[in-house]
Each structure stands twice: as structure tokens, then as C-alpha cells.
Amino acid sequence: MTLLYATHARVHLGNIRDNLLAVRAAVGPGRKLLVAVKANGYGHGAVAVSRMAEATRAADWLGVATVPEGIQLREAGLSLPILKLGPTFPNEMRPAVGAGITLAVCSAEEAEAAADAARAAGRPASVHLKVDTGMGRVGVVPVEAASLALRVSALPGVELEGVFTHLPVSDAADPAFTREQVSLFRSLAADVEEAAGRKLLVHCANSGAILGHEPSWLDMVRPGIMAYGFRPDPATPDTIPLKPGMSLLTRVSFVKQVAAGTSIGYGRTWAAPRDTFIATIPAGYADGFNRLFSNRGRVLIGGRSHPVVGRVCMDQSMVDLGEETDVKVGDEVVLMGRSGDAEIRCEEWAETLGTITYEVTCQVSPRVTRVYDPY
């Protein structure tokens, strides 16, 4: 593959497959697995990750956040069931139903819109009832879940297939709230099934719960960030070994020697404390190499760590090579990943930036080519 832009993300599909299979092995063969591929597969590439998951049987379902995300997967030839995890507006219903996307239903109005869409599309609308057991974001309140299930089940053209909830602190060190939440959900799921008059697909375990809350392992589990190789929080138990799904790479575009006192970059925020060599790299905040790395970040070249100096620009950044160097134009630069025995992990980015690994990978911009390793 010829890269016309040096900055690229290498996506390790084999690692993502191994992470999903490790989840399967941990939760047991009787449970289904939904891999979250929303937000372009957390920046890794939704279509490529989904094709791998389908081809290797590493997942049974795909999870998306928007109707266009689901339609993109269908147009790419994916046949696995797709669950849209949040509410759907009435104007989005018919395209979603037409594409065979399973909808989350949070209210009677939403269920009725799904019935209208099913009639217009000429095919049933598959839905999962979303219950808010403590996330405080979307979903029917627990006391109304059974009555809503009864109402949904009576709608023509609507097939109630599942019931689910989301766990807001399953990744936290204190397990108390999640234990209570899972207990509540298991009880109300039984009530929902009784109201529906049949067995449903019951699920609530996200990455934190898969790693630390076995009682949440119900009919299906939903790995998100852990599929891509990262625990949701440093406090989350390290109970399943995970492999990183992405490396971010570029190449040296320019090398120069500067005298002590020479300022580098916008704002002249850094000046060389000694005679030194400076390398420029074609990666900046428009690529996802965050501006907060200005005078704080680091990169790897030839297995050695070099600090970012000056402000990260939109399209370029500068690094200090030291008083002597053999680095030359064209040398590989590792922004995230391994170089020899050295490594910059996504978790290091998150700590430096004061954020979470989810945001780090999601912010790798579309202009950064994804190069997919075989699996």
C-alpha cells in the first residue's frame, strides 16, 4: 500500500480478534457477544473491525450509535445483527428498519414510531427495550418497564427481542452501586419477559462489568473499549489480558541543527537550552496528535524517546533530538505504539492529556490513513 501521507494508524485486527475471543473464553460459550463499533470502531475503522468479527466469528452482534453507522455496515455487506444503542428520531426509523437495524426503544412514542416505520418499510421492526437503572441518560424508568414491554409486544409489526441497560460505574474501584444496579436489572428483566410472554435477549455488561462484575454476564455481553485493547479505567480489574488495537506512526520530514537560545514554534514557548538537533514531523492536532502535547509529549525514533518541543501545530510538530543524532529524514516516528524495546501506550496519552483512552483513539482524524494488519 502506497501512503501519500506519512502519518497513519496501523490497526492490529489480529489483536482485536484475540481480545474478543478472550472475552468469549472468560464469559463462557453460552453467551452472545456484541462488539461496539460505534464512532468508526472507536477510531479503528468500523467496517474493517466488523468484517473481521464476522469472518472469525469473534462477535455475534454489532453495536452502533447512529443510523448512518448501521447503514454503512449493511452497505459494506455485513450480515450480523446490528443494535442501535440509543434513541431514534421518527424520521430515522424507516431507513433503520429498512436496513434491518435493531432499535433501542425507550418510550411508547418511540415504539409507535417503530411500528409506523415497519408498516412503511414492509418488514418487521426489531427492538430492544432500554431501561435506565442508574445511568441517568436514556431509557424507560424501572417501574414502567414491564408495562412498556406489554405495550410494545402488542404493536403490529414490532418484534420485542431484548431488554438492556447501561452501567455507569462498572469500571470504578467501589463495586457497590454496580452490584445494586445489576441486581435491580436482573429482577426487572424477569418482569419484562413475563410481560412480553417470552424469553428475551437480556444484556447489561459493558467492558468494566466484563472485567469485574460476573453477575452482570447475562445472555449477551457488550465489550467496547476493551475490544480495542484498553481497560476503561486504571481502577478496573486486569482480569482478561488485552492487546492494543492501534499504533500511530509518521516519519521525520526535516532535521536541522539549532544554536542555544533558538526558539521553536508558535508563541516561542520553547528555546533550545544548548546547541541541539530538531526534527519536524508531519503530525499535528488535525491528525489527533493533541495540542496539549506542546512541551509535554514525546515520540519514539529508533527505540529512543524524544520530547515534543514548542507548540504542536495543526499539521506538524517538532521534537528535540539532542546534541548528537543519527536521525534522518524518512525515519519512522512512533507517536503511539512500540519502537524496539520502548513503548508509548494509549494510556500514557490519556494520562498526559487528562482524558480517557476512548477519546484518544476516537480523535485520530479521518485524514490519517488506517492500515490494517492481516488477521
Cβ distance 247 to 337 under 8 Å?
yes
373 located within any domain = no
Instruction: Report the percent of the chain where pLDDT is more than 70.
Output: 100
Asked whether residue 200 falls in the same domain as residue 296, the answer is no
Q: Is 90 exceeded by the pLDDT of residue 332? A: yes
Q: Are residues 206 and 294 both part of a single domain?
A: no
Whether residues 217 and 279 share a domain: the answer is: no
pTM over 0.95: yes
CB neighbour list of residue 211: distance below 8 Å, 6 or more residues apart: 171, 226, 231, 232, 236, 237, 238, 239, 240
Is the predicted pLDDT of residue 144 greater than 80, yes or no? yes
Under the banding of pLDDT at 50, 70 and 90, the label for residue 36 is: very high
| C-alpha cell of residue 311 | 507548540
What does DSSP say about strands 276-281 and 317-322: parallel, antiparallel, or unpaired? antiparallel
Confidence tier at 4 by pLDDT (50, 70, 90): confident
Complete DSSP assignment for 147-200? HHHHHHHTSTTEEEEEEE---TTTTSS--HHHHHHHHHHHHHHHHHHHHHTS--
264-288 pLDDT, tens digit each: 999 999 999 999 999 999 999 999 9
Q: Over the chain, what is the mean pLDDT?
A: 97
Q: Is 350 within the bounds of a domain? A: no
- pLDDT tens digits for range 231-258: 999 999 999 999 999 999 999 999 999 9
Number of domains into which the chain is organized: 2
- 149, 265: one domain: no
Place 147 in a pLDDT band, splitting at 50, 70 and 90. Answer: very high
Note whether residue 71 is domain-resident: yes
pLDDT-based confidence at residue 1 (cuts at 50, 70, 90) = confident
Phi, psi of 134 (to 5 degrees): 150, -5
> Which residues are known catalytic residues?
38, 266
pLDDT, position 2: 81
Claim to verify: residue 262 and residue 206 sit in the same structural domain: no
**Full residue range of the structural domain in which residue 316 is found:** 246-344
82 and 119 housed in the same domain: yes
Write the CATH number for 47: 3.20.20.10
